[in-house]
Amino acid sequence: MFKRFVPTEILWFVAIIWGVFLIDAILIGINLNYFGIRPRHISGLHGILLSPFLHGGLYHLMSNSIAILILGSLLKTSIGPKKLRLVMLLGAIGSGIGVWLFAANGLVVGASGMVFAFLGYLFADALFNPSLRSWLFAILSFITYGGALFSLVNFLPYISWSAHFWGFVTGILLSYTLGRKRPQ
């Protein structure tokens, strides 16, 4: 029953990020977060692919995991598993590139960019491909995670505004480019 609502891809991703977190906790003297994004440093480019798997603490990991489970399930139900995989991959990469290019100096880790790509996609899908279904999923995602949008205008220390912003923008762009074909 659970697998019917939560896509396998999402379950695997959440299992992997928890596994990486546990390995990082067990490895004394080693911090895997070093492999996160370092904006505008060549040594930080690998973080574009690796940062969604790394988290700064248990609260960070839990909040991203829950959001990915809920929004990923809504997204899969809305657009199907094939497009979900594309949004997962391209949402993380698009957010990571935006962070690498435009973020303040520091180290950025976490899957928040992917979370905001999911949100951006669900909201934009209702605009670019209006239907009862797309609007229903946009409203559901707004009810569950609309409050997260305040992080786009509220700058808090230790929270990557740029990951949220570029994830959201990437989700909108993906919705526009991957959207359903309209009859002509």
Q: What is the pLDDT of residue 1?
A: 47
Percent of the chain exceeding pLDDT 90 equals 72
Alpha-carbon torsion (132, 138, 141, 142), positive or negative: negative
Residue 183 banded pLDDT, cuts 50, 70, 90: very low
Could you read off the pLDDT of 97-126 as tens digits, one per residue? 999 999 887 899 999 999 999 999 999 999
Which has more confidence, 148 or 73?
73
Q: How far apart are CA 107 and CA 158, in angstroms?
A: 10
> What's the CA gap between 148 and 159, in Å, rounded?
12
* CA dist., res. 19 & res. 37, Å (int): 20
The backbone torsions φ and ψ at residue 154, rounded to the nearest 5 degrees and listed phi first, read -115, 110
The pLDDT assigned to 184 comes to 39
Whole-angstrom distance between the N-terminal and C-terminal Cα of the chain?
39
Claim: this prediction has a pTM higher than 0.75: yes
Mean pLDDT estimate for the chain: 89
CB 61 within 8 A of CB 27: no
pLDDT digit string (tens) for 16-37? 999 999 999 999 888 999 999 9
Q: pLDDT per residue over 47-68, tens digit each?
A: 999 999 999 999 999 999 999 9
Torsion angles phi and psi, residue 105, rounded to 5: -60, 155
pLDDT digits (tens, 9 = 90+) for 73-84: 999 999 999 999
